[in-house]
Structure 1
Amino acid sequence: MRALFYVLSAFAVIGLAVWAYDQNHRTQQAISEARELRREIRSLREALSVQRAEWAYLNRPERLRALAEMNFARLGLMPLVSSQFGQIDEVAYPGTVAPQEGSL
């Protein structure tokens, strides 16, 4: 009986060792993937900051004004003035009925 207990205990220890090794391997793999993802996120953030800087550089008002002036004949762009904007009460919202004159 004692020999059977020793054999079962040995198998239990071996099984636990295999399980612990597997868990360790999975943990190391997850840590490695997390490091790779962090590295990729860092490089994407750097690329995004470069693109934001380029966007800001290309959208400088003086540059856009010069481009609009150079291409005026082809594009026909005019400067914006405040009279080109509407009022909020002029916007027709779908599903609403416009108020009638004299109601309320």
Structure 2
Amino acid sequence: MRSLLYLCTALGVIALAAWAYRENHMTQQAMNAQRALEREIVALNEALSIQRAEWAYLNRPDRLRELVDLNFERLKLVPITGTHFGEIGQVAYPMPAARTDVFDTIELSGEIEQLSAYAEEVLP
């Protein structure tokens, strides 16, 4: 009987050791994946900051002014002034669509007739 107890205990210890090894291995894999994602995020943030710096460099007002002057014949670009904007009254807004699907007069009048008949029955 003791040998059976020792055998079950040994098998339990082996099973727990295998489970702990597997959990440790899965944890290490998850941590490696997390580190890889963090490295990728850092690289993408660096690339984004470089692109923002390039965009700011390319959008310098003096550079854009030179480009406009060089391409004036083709593009006809002029500085924006207040005369380039319209008045609020000049905006053509679309008319709202009629909502006949919400209230149908036939159904509404039928409900009113039913309610009035019910009220006459209930209230003397």
Gaps of at least 5 residues in structure 2 are 98-124
2:77, 2:47 → 1: CA distance? 33
Q: Deviations over 1:16-65 (max 9, x none)?
A: 00000000011111111111111111111111111100000000111111
Q: How many residues align?
A: 97
2:13, 2:88 → 1: CA distance? 76
Determine which structure has more spread, i.e. the larger CA radius of gyration. Answer: 2
Q: 1:54 to 1:63 in 2, by over 3 A?
A: same
1:82 aligns with 2:82: yes
2:26 aligned residue: 26
Gaps of at least 5 residues in structure 1 are 98-104
2:71 aligned residue: 71
2:27, 2:95 → 1: CA distance? 56
Secondary structure in 1 aligned to 2:21?
A: helix
Which ranges of 4 or more aligned residues in structure 1 deviate by more than 2 Å?
A: 85-97
Q: What residue identity is the alignment partner of 2:75? A: L
What TM-score comes out, normalization by structure 2 length? 0.69
Q: 1:2 to 1:86 in 2, by over 3 A?
A: farther
Give 1:68 deviation, angstroms: 0.7
Structure 1 residues 22-61: aligned runs within 5 Å: 22-61=22-61
Q: What residue identity is the alignment partner of 1:82? A: G
Q: What residue identity is the alignment partner of 1:83? A: T
2:94, 2:5 → 1: CA distance? 80
Identity score, percent: 58
2:7 aligned residue: 7
| CA root-mean-square deviation | 2.0
User: RCO higher in 1 or 2 (8 Å CA, sep ≥ 6)?
Assistant: 1
Q: What residue identity is the alignment partner of 1:32? A: N
What TM-score comes out, normalization by structure 1 length? 0.81
